[in-house]
Every structure is written in structure tokens, then in C-alpha cells.
Structure 1
Amino acid sequence: MSQSVSGQGESLVSGSSLYDVLVIGGGNAALCAALMAREAGASVLLLESAPREWRGGNSQHTRNLRCMHDAPQDVLVDAYPEEEYWQDLLKVTGGITNEKLARMVIRSTATCRDWMRKHGVNFQNPLSGTLHVARTNAFFMGGGKALVNAYYRSAERLGVHIRYDSPVDAIELDGGRFIAARSGKERIEARSCVLAAGGFESNREWLREAWGQNERGEWPADNFLIRGTRFNQGVLLRYMLDAGADAIGDPSQSHCVAIDARAPLYDGGICTRIDCVSLGVVVNRDAQRFYDEGEDFWPKRYAIWGRLVAQQPGQIAYSIIDAKSVGRFMPPVFPGTQADTLPELAGKLGLDPAAFTRTVEDYNAACRIGTFDHTVLDDCHTEGLAVSKTHWARPIDTGPFFGYALRPGITFTYLGLKVDEHAAVHFNGMPSDNLFVAGEMMAGNVLGKGYTAGVGMSIGTAFGRIAGDRAAAAAKQQATLTGGERNAA
């Protein structure tokens, strides 16, 4: 195959505009696919809908990759074997996952880091306050933005053509075969294609449709903040579903985190998360607790809280701690609301002081304090409450007191396209031979609900690499069958 391309996406030859592989998307999964296809000798065009300064999708907001390892490995301590990883995933998804595909993802994380380093990604030892994940997660030096930039530099160096501000509106299909993509009035042909354009979390109307109206007459989605990119409108996903691609996942399920209610509407990223939930109590706008704050370690359970808050009146809740908890969690970007007494804190938060004080005092009286240790599932718990706290339960009795208003923060949605182990898009149960999908557009195959830290990057990396490799092979096969010599665009 000809490799007559430049790192800046500028053609060195004239001739056909037919690429071997078209990658639609600009985040981690798309970049992994583009790099793998290019390494296999294919000519590659990557279309990123965002402008260059906002490239990278949700990947720019990430921090780490959840990794299986049977012994200590460079930045990872101890061991995190396949079965434990699988059990963690099984627990957060409630069994709504494809075990075959999930275990593929898990196993791939044991060996992918050397490939990532080859493309410029660096890892660091976990920092203090990184949520009990030194054993399970490898942290990116410089975070997700550095990872995305490294991949783009590597792609340019290898000759991947990259175009920004290039959203794809439609896909031309012949049965289950990819023919071309349409971006505005432009038609872009390729021998194979990888779809990696994200979910629909930035599409407010689709979120409203997915969540509907609740019994209080509210449209919960109207109060959601979008923790991730503003560019994931789900246009390509909707097109593929309307075109008959097999779907997977519940449209109301997502990576949904309780974040600071003062966070921006889009692109707040990881720094908007409130990490002190397990150290105190959480109340709704009626000053009532509604879920066990100490159910499990925060990295395993933090992503359930966005959905829990979404189900509360007004889609708002308040995380309450006292002075004893300060310094034990990752500090948020915005300072908490502070007060010297519980009634004063209630007033500042807009809660009924009597109801709030009663809730906290009832909780305090129910605490059975053993040996507090936030690094293990300790024996500090409550007794006699309608909503128990099973670990880390200590009275909230030492001023000053702090409160953080919470809103649901959507990172990415789980409705997607059904795949097999080759990352192929399916139509009526049959896999396409030249159309593949990776990242958030297929994450619902592994994540039916729930989330655990770093697994989104695991899915995107695993299936991005598979999709890129398969797309290159499909393009090569088609070129052989047609007997046509092609030039890179």
C-alpha cells in the first residue's frame, strides 16, 4: 500500500480520494483505531467534529486506565488479577454486561501500556488522594489531555490525515457494508470505516426523550450538567440506529456522577466531582437521606450517585461533612458552603433548618463507632435508620460544617451499537465486513449500567485497537478483491 502522505494531512500525490480506513471521531478510541490501522500499512483519514483546540472528546478529561496485572508492574502496586477485575465490573453493572467482551477488555489492559508508551503516553505513580486506586489504575502523566495530544502527535508523524471541524451527518451503506460518509455536502469514500464519535450526552432533547417526565411533572434531564464534551450530540449514533444497526443498552443509562451544582454546563471534567460523599451524609432538598453513603469504596460506587441525585426532587442533593473529614478526600475546585452550626448551614443551603438538624441528629445517634479507617471497609456503621450507612459512619458533630450542592453530571451515555469480538457493527444479527465501532458508541456492550474508575478508557483502548486492526485488514482484502491500485488522498 502506498504511504504517500504527510503528517499534516496534506496529499503528496494526486489521484483518488479513496482512503483505506476512515475513522470518525477524535477521542481515545478513534485515535487508537487510527494508529493501529496506520501501523498496519493503511492510509487513514480521521474526522474530528470539534475544532482543534477542543479535540479529544471526553478522553481529554480522563486521568487513568484500569489495568489487570498479576504482579506489581511499573506504576501499579500489588496485583489486580482478571477475576477480581471481572467481579468489580460485575458488581457495578449488576450483571448487565457481555462477559466474553468484558473479559477481552480486561485481558487487553495487561499488555496495552507498552503500545501506549510507544505512541508517547507516559504514566506516573498515583498521587495522594487518588481514591484508593494505586493498585488498580495506571495514571496518565499530564492527564487525558496529555494522552490525547501524544496520540495526535504520533498520528501526524505516521501520516494519518486529520481534519477538524468535520462532523459526519450520514453514512452511505449497501446492506451492511460501508460505502461513504457525508460531512455537510462532502462525500468521503473509504474501503472501511471505524465509528468512534461518542454518545449523545450533549443532546438535551435526546436526554429528555430518554429520561422522560417523572411523577412530579419534572423533566429530570433539564437539570443535568454535561461533565464531558459539548460535541457529543449523537448525530452519527442516531443515524446508524435509524439505518437498522443493531442496538444495545438502555438510553437512560450513562456514566452519571454527582458533581458540584456550580459546575459549567459542559466540559467540567473530573475536577467538578465531589468526593466526600462517603465521609458524611447526603440529603435531598427535603433534608432527607436517601441512600447508603458508605456502601463501598468510592472508586467502585461514585458513579451511582449521579443517577441517585437525578431521581431526587429537583435533581439536587447536598453532601454534608464536618471538620473531621477535611483533608481526607480530593479537594473540589469550588469551596464548600461553610457554617459554624447545623441550622446555619441549612439556612445557607436553602434547606429547612429543623428538618435538616433532625436528620443529622438522628444519624449521629445511630452511629456505632468502631475503628474508623477510610482505606478499608471498616466497622463504623449505623443502626436503626431506614437508610443505613454501612461503613465510615461517624457523627457529624465537629464544626465548622460544610455542604456541597450536587447535580447529576453526565459523562457519556450507554446506548450504542452491538458488536462482536471483532468490533464489527451488526445489522439484523449479521456483522458488517467493513464497518466497525469503538469507544462510547459501543461501551454499552460492556457497561449495561454503573461504572468503575478507569474502565471507560479500558473499553476505548481495547476496542479502538481491535477496530483499527480489523478495518485495515478489511481494506486490504477489498483492495485485493477489486484489484485496484490506490493512492492515498
Structure 2
Amino acid sequence: MVDVLVIGGGNAALCAALMAREAGASVLMLEASPRTWRGGNSQHTRNLRCMHEAPQDVLVDAYPEEEYWQDLLKVTGGMTNEKLARLVIRASSTCRDWMRRHGVRFQPPLSGALHVARTNAFFMGGGKALVNAYYRSAERLGVQIRYATPVASLELDDGRFVAAFTADGQLIPAKSCVLAAGGFESNRDWLRDAWGQNERGEWPSDNFLIRGTRFNEGILLKHMISAGADAIGDPTQAHMVAIDARAPLYDGGICTRIDCVSLGIVVNRDGARFHDEGEDFWPKRYAIWGRLVARQPGQIAYSIIDQKAIGRFMPPVFPGVTASSLPELALKLGLPQEAFVKTMADYNAACQPNDFDHTVLDHCHTQDLMPPKTHWARPIDTPPFHGYALRPGITFTYLGLKVNEEAAVHFNGCPSPNLFVAGEMMAGNVLGQGYTAGVGMSIGTAFGRIAGTQAAKAATQKANHAAA
């Protein structure tokens, strides 16, 4: 019998497996995907939000605990467990040396990501390089890994883990277990159940795209909730971004994101604006736009910029629709021409002259316009004009399992002695809503390491108890 069973194959699962193995436990990892697609959503990441009191290699200036906490508090609207959030924040300041020991390398941010040069450490080679480095380290340390092995259910005994049942019926016992199998974002039926129909009779989730892995179907999460594990979070809350409407249904990753929203305006299919595009820096607010687009007719919107914005944002993979005039752009995008041109004229007239600076919260704003644009408001008047169709893109869902500081799964308020959870399956404890760049990797790294340590400890205690 193995000491620690880790279910999942992304960042949190790998951190748990490595920590458990370093503690001397024998470890088996079960990854639902084939080897080619290993790594879950972590393969699509690129950075980690890090607390630091002074400049550190690729991190400039300082990003102290209280500022990190206030940033998290703002984006979640207070829907967060402060004790667990601060645990994550503090852990983010000490994890990078450990990550380096397992082969992870860091690099300065690219020019289009300078807003997070102070707060986020970027992985050299991105998330795929990170998970590959962890897998190499795990294999070197003797972690057993089985691919294409989804887990359907667990055998539990009054909150204690006994064994896991794979989808093909295999029974795998272990002395302790870490759950890190992700959310339910690629389960189309569950998304339909969660989001339901809107007042227009539409099923909004049918128009959602999945930025991450197709293997996060939430089967184990649903089983755990049915088995009486304490849950936390709203099933409609998620890390949801406005992405290119031409993106693939699964695994589009970061390259499908449209990052020019704050430099122009966004309209719905009726040609109307519906939210302040300039309320804060893009890394703090980009993850609200998926939900905003999801509430629009047909779950589609259009980001509109002019030539002045080019070169000030990370360019998307696919070129936008271009036109020499705004009426022509409306025609090419399939928008009602009269309504769109009026929206543009009203916006341009409302822009107040000031010094534009997209690197700070500048004083370029609109006046007497609803919704307002509070920063970076400049007339869109310099051709060629560019338009990008947007769809909601889900990264991961926030419904998960309630935990304590030791990452233990709870049943009726009581922590399990040998069942732990990390990553997206518990991120809702910290992220009740909203998102800020890199915090998902901070949560997965912190709780993955905690869960692995605690699982190894629980396995040792069980072995000692059996010997006595």
C-alpha cells in the first residue's frame, strides 16, 4: 500500500507529491489526462503573485503583505477567508527557492505585462515548462505516476480516506490522500445546471469557452459533495475572462485573451456600452469581463480600439477586424450601424482632454456618460479601427471543498485525519468571487505544499499506530 495518493496532475498536485516525497513518504499520482495533456490548467499559466518586502531578482520594488491583502480584498469584495488568504500571501514569499530546487526558472515579464512586474514572478517557458520541471523532479525522486487514470469516487470511513476507485473500477488504497483534481469548468452539463436559463430563454453557458483543460469535469468534486464533504462557494463564480470568440472550445490558454479592453471601449451586440472599461489596472480587473459578457445578449461583446492603442497591450494571436471608418467596422462586425456610430460619437464627445498614460491611473476620463470610463479615456478617432469579438472564457470554477490551515477536507465541520485538498478544488475558500493575476498559482502552490506535508505526516502516524 502506498503512503500518499495524490489525485490530479497540475501545479497543486505536483507540489503535494513533491512535498510528501521529500518528507519520506511513498507517493502515487493519478492524472486523468494522457501524458501529452498532463498538467491541468497549470500548463496554461505564466506567473505567480508573490509577496516580497524588497526587490528580488525578477521582482522589482516591494509588494508587502498588506498591499497584497488589500488587492485580494478588493477583487473578492470581501468574499474571502482572511486567515487562509494571509496564509497564501505569506507562503508566496518563501516558495520560489523551493520551486527553483525542483527545476523552475523565472524571467522578467514581457513588455506587454509590465503592470505586474512588481507583483508577479513569471516562469521561464510559461506553465508548460513549470509542470514539466515538476514532473521531471517527481520522477527523479521516485514518485509513481499513472496517466489517463481518472478517479470516479472514494471509499470513506467516517471522514477517513480508505481507497480510491478509478473510472474503470480499479481499487487503489493508501494511508492518506490529497485531492487536487480541479473544478468542473469542462463539464458542460454542470455549467448548464449552475447557470440555468436567462430571461431571454438562452442557456448562457452554451456560449462559454474553456480556456483550460478539457479533463476538469468535476466528477470527484461532485462525489465528495454527495458524500457529505463540506462545500464552499457559488457554482456560478469562476475565473472567467473575456477571450477571443474564435478561440477553441478547450485549451486556448492565455494566448486567446484580449488585453486591449482598457484602451478602448466594449459594446454588446446591440452596439451599446455596458461597463466602465477603465476602472482599474487590467491585471486587477481583466477577470471580471467574462461574467460581464456572459450577462449580455448572446453572450458576446466587441472590444473596439483605434490605431493609437496599437503597441500598448499584449497582441492577441488572431488579428482583429479592421476598417477605415467606424460605419465600416460596424458592418464588418455585424453590429447595428446607427446605434454603434451613435455610441462611438457619444463616447468621443464625453472624453475630457488630459495627459494620457496607460501605465498609471491617469486623469483621462469621460464626463456625463453612462457608464463612465474613469481612466484612459481617449477619443477613438484615428483609423484604422480595430474590433475583436469576445466570448466568456472560463479558466476554473470556485465551488470547492472547505478547508483549514492544514488543508484538511471537512465533514460536518470536522477535519478528516488523512484526506486533504489543494488547488482549484478548494480555491473558493480564498476566492469567493473575482480574481487578480497570478493568485490561483499562489493558492495552488501554498496549499499543495501544505497538503503534501500533512498527508505524509498522516501516513506516518497511521503506520506508527499500526505498529503499536
Which residue does 1:267 correspond to in 2?
Answer: 251
Please give the alpha-carbon distance, in whole angstroms, between the structure 1 residues aligned to 2:306 and 2:189.
39
Per-residue deviation, residues 217-274 of structure 1 (Å, max 9, x unmatched): 1100000000000000000000000000000000000000000000000000000000
State the AA in 2 paired with 1:152.
Y
Which residue does 2:349 correspond to in 1?
Answer: 365
Please give the alpha-carbon distance, in whole angstroms, between the structure 1 residues aligned to 2:467 and 2:278.
63
Which residue does 2:153 correspond to in 1?
Answer: 170
Match among 66, 76, 94 for residue 111 of structure 1: 94
Which residue does 1:349 correspond to in 2?
Answer: 333
State yes or no: 1:454 paired with 2:438.
yes
CA RMSD of aligned residues (A): 0.6
For the Cα contact (< 8 Å) 1:380–1:394, is it kept in 2?
A: yes
Which residue does 2:11 correspond to in 1?
Answer: 28
Please give the alpha-carbon distance, in whole angstroms, between the structure 2 residues aligned to 1:465 and 1:104.
12
Which residue does 1:213 correspond to in 2?
Answer: 197
State the AA in 2 paired with 1:189.
P
State the AA in 1 paired with 2:398.
Y
State yes or no: 1:85 paired with 2:68.
yes
Match among 233, 243, 251 for residue 217 of structure 2: 233
Please give the alpha-carbon distance, in whole angstroms, between the structure 1 residues aligned to 2:268 and 2:158.
50
Which residue does 2:83 correspond to in 1?
Answer: 100
SS in structure 2 of the partner of residue 381 of structure 1: coil
Please give the alpha-carbon distance, in whole angstroms, between the structure 1 residues aligned to 2:329 and 2:253.
27
Match among 181, 201, 206 for residue 197 of structure 1: 181
- Structure 1-normalised TM-score? 0.95
State yes or no: 1:74 paired with 2:62.
no
SS in structure 2 of the partner of residue 382 of structure 1: coil
Please give the alpha-carbon distance, in whole angstroms, between the structure 1 residues aligned to 2:89 and 2:97.
16
Per-residue deviation, residues 401-441 of structure 1 (Å, max 9, x unmatched): 00000000000000000000000000000000000000000
Please give the alpha-carbon distance, in whole angstroms, between the structure 2 residues aligned to 1:369 and 1:56.
48
Which residue does 1:9 correspond to in 2?
Answer: none
Shift of 1:131: 4.7
Please give the alpha-carbon distance, in whole angstroms, between the structure 2 residues aligned to 1:211 and 1:353.
32
Match among 380, 388, 393 for residue 377 of structure 2: 393
The runs of at least 4 aligned residues of structure 1 exceeding 4 Å deviation read none
Q: How many residues align?
A: 467
Please give the alpha-carbon distance, in whole angstroms, between the structure 2 residues aligned to 1:265 and 1:113.
33
SS in structure 1 of the partner of residue 43 of structure 2: helix
Shift of 1:371: 0.9
State yes or no: 1:335 paired with 2:335.
no
SS in structure 2 of the partner of residue 370 of structure 1: coil
Please give the alpha-carbon distance, in whole angstroms, between the structure 2 residues aligned to 1:224 and 1:58.
16
Shift of 1:369: 2.0
Which residue does 1:13 correspond to in 2?
Answer: none
For the Cα contact (< 8 Å) 1:22–1:192, is it kept in 2?
A: yes
Shift of 1:180: 0.1
Please give the alpha-carbon distance, in whole angstroms, between the structure 2 residues aligned to 1:73 and 1:424.
32
For the Cα contact (< 8 Å) 1:49–1:166, is it kept in 2?
A: yes
Shift of 1:370: 0.9
Please give the alpha-carbon distance, in whole angstroms, between the structure 1 residues aligned to 2:229 and 2:392.
30
For the Cα contact (< 8 Å) 1:131–1:299, is it kept in 2?
A: no
Aligned pairs (5 A) from 1:241-252: 241-252=225-236
Please give the alpha-carbon distance, in whole angstroms, between the structure 1 residues aligned to 2:56 and 2:199.
51
Per-residue deviation, residues 353-395 of structure 1 (Å, max 9, x unmatched): 1110000000000000211000000000001112000000000
Please give the alpha-carbon distance, in whole angstroms, between the structure 1 residues aligned to 2:109 and 2:330.
36
- Structure 2-normalised TM-score? 0.99
Per-residue deviation, residues 51-104 of structure 1 (Å, max 9, x unmatched): 000000000000000000000001100000000000000000000000000000
Please give the alpha-carbon distance, in whole angstroms, between the structure 1 residues aligned to 2:252 and 2:131.
17
For the Cα contact (< 8 Å) 1:260–1:405, is it kept in 2?
A: yes
Match among 278, 282, 286 for residue 298 of structure 1: 282
Please give the alpha-carbon distance, in whole angstroms, between the structure 2 residues aligned to 1:36 and 1:266.
30
State yes or no: 1:438 paired with 2:438.
no
Aligned pairs (5 A) from 1:114-129: 114-129=97-112
Which residue does 2:448 correspond to in 1?
Answer: 464
State yes or no: 1:43 paired with 2:35.
no
For the Cα contact (< 8 Å) 1:131–1:298, is it kept in 2?
A: no
State yes or no: 1:277 paired with 2:261.
yes
State yes or no: 1:406 paired with 2:384.
no
Shift of 1:125: 1.1
State the AA in 2 paired with 1:141.
M
State the AA in 1 paired with 2:356.
F
Please give the alpha-carbon distance, in whole angstroms, between the structure 1 residues aligned to 2:169 and 2:260.
50
For the Cα contact (< 8 Å) 1:248–1:444, is it kept in 2?
A: yes
Stretches of structure 1 lacking an aligned partner (at least 5 in a row): 1-17, 485-489
Please give the alpha-carbon distance, in whole angstroms, between the structure 2 residues aligned to 1:393 and 1:270.
26
State the AA in 1 paired with 2:79.
I
Please give the alpha-carbon distance, in whole angstroms, between the structure 1 residues aligned to 2:353 and 2:143.
59
Shift of 1:169: 0.5
Which residue does 2:141 correspond to in 1?
Answer: 158
State the AA in 2 paired with 1:197.
A
Please give the alpha-carbon distance, in whole angstroms, between the structure 2 residues aligned to 1:25 and 1:106.
23
Shift of 1:126: 1.2
Aligned pairs (5 A) from 1:144-155: 144-155=127-138
